[in-house]
Chain A
Amino acid sequence: MNRRHPGISENQNYNMPYEAVIGLEVHIHLKTKTKAFCGCSTEFGSPPNSQTCPICLGFPGSLPALNSQALDYAIKVGLALNCKVQEYTKFDRKHYYYPDLPKNYQISQYDLPISRDGFLDIYPQGIKKMVRIKRAHLEEDAGKLMHKEQSSLVDFNRTGIPLLEIVSEPDINTPTEAYEYLASLKSIIEYLGVSDCDMEKGSLRCDVNISIRPQGIEALGTKVELKNMNSFKGVKDALTYEIGRQIEALESGGEIIQETRLWDTVSAQSISMRTKEEAKDYRYFPEPDLPPFIISQKKIEEIKKTIPELPREKMRRFIEEYGLSEYDAAILVSNKNNADYAQERLKAWPDKNKKPVANWLIGPLTALASSNSIAISEVKITKEDFLELVDLVENKQIVSNLVGKTILVEMSSSGKSPSLIIREKNLAQVSDVESLEADVDAALKENLKSVQAYKEGKNNALMFLVGQVMKKTAGRANPKVVQEILKRRLA
């Protein structure tokens, strides 16, 4: 009798089971060299207003001219999201007054978006769910305001950077699904190489629409728009909070007001910004400075050819070709550079069993990379050296797993090959029974309690004793051999 929705906190009890209906609007910066409608650079982090011209500043008499790379990127994303690319399309003006919008209208698309009617499959808890994409349209970004005590400053560097707004249908039902959707979308777009998708730098932004309804009821509840989340986790937290808030409101006999709410990360609450009565009339109309245009089938086919293998296909292939678990494969493909890096090594590993390589990529190598705050593809270890180490540890058992990890660190700092490091530091594993006997003797003498415990049937004690021997040999002893000696001696 599960009366709660998975997205709703477990420690609350409600009279009714509710379902959340969520749609996401994601804005991504397209990584074009120049802005959407002028020749200014799009580089992040330059001095304020250093990347501006009469066009992006909306100076009187200036006119926009479309950057064809922005259009190509927008089409590419549309195709990757299984959308229909609009053959005949146009731009429209969206009007609102704000000092970060120099023309007081934004060049956007209203009724003929570049692409529409696509879908994205997500896998929350491993189960496939399709989220339909309503539309993806091209528009220009606004500038950035910085508020001082007595005044506000505006930086127009970001003004005119091409944005793709990707709008989902309200097919998402839980905060976790929303998170999964964002993660898959980001991953796909990174694979396409058309955006950095960095929420901190503002190159990916997300607004959500959410309503709740009693489970089993078809009619939609009143919709609330949430803004100002600055991480995927923030989106998830805001949704969890908002679902709770809406249920509380309904349960206590109140009603939901159609409004826009801002998520406040510090207080972990959403705050009302404006209600429907204050909703703006954007007065959309066709942008007369940019004539409508045709996207040819030929262009679409050409762009299609530039779409690389996407994360989900790559994952499937990793599972099939390399026999990896779904878990391992999912980790390896989540980032394109890492996936390419991993693929190179998996492919070059001569054995049929690729698991050892996958383990070393996901385990020690990932740990090493993240301790240096870099991607695994940036670790300075050649493919050959890396695979040699895996071979030395896993197949030849020249060194133990533990020593292998320290060798990996050494390899990345010195650039030396693993065999050279083993030779220089005399790290080769000792598997010779005779040379280990003395250390085993000493360990047994020093740990009589554990010896006793083992004899009473406690198997853990044996592992402890193995550890003691390893310690004495500075990790060089072959743990399997030590275990065999111990078993024999204690029999």
Chain B
Amino acid sequence: MNIFSIIMLIFLIGCSIAVSATKNLLGAVIVFMAYSLVMAILWQQLNAPDLAITEAAVGAGITTLLFVLALRRIRGEK
């Protein structure tokens, strides 16, 4: 495991702690998107590019979009 992967892993742990510690909901969603993107890079480093594409498309794209829409619904905005 090279240095780049270790840095990414540390960043991943920091992201996952920040998601649960953040009070602002929209900020938590955006940090979660960053977590997913770092996870995609890590899958690529672990020789699983198939999973990396799926993670980048679903985790960083669709899930974040649905979270933001759910936040909008919670706040009652139209």
Does A associate with B in a complex? no
Binding site for B on A (CB under 8 A): none
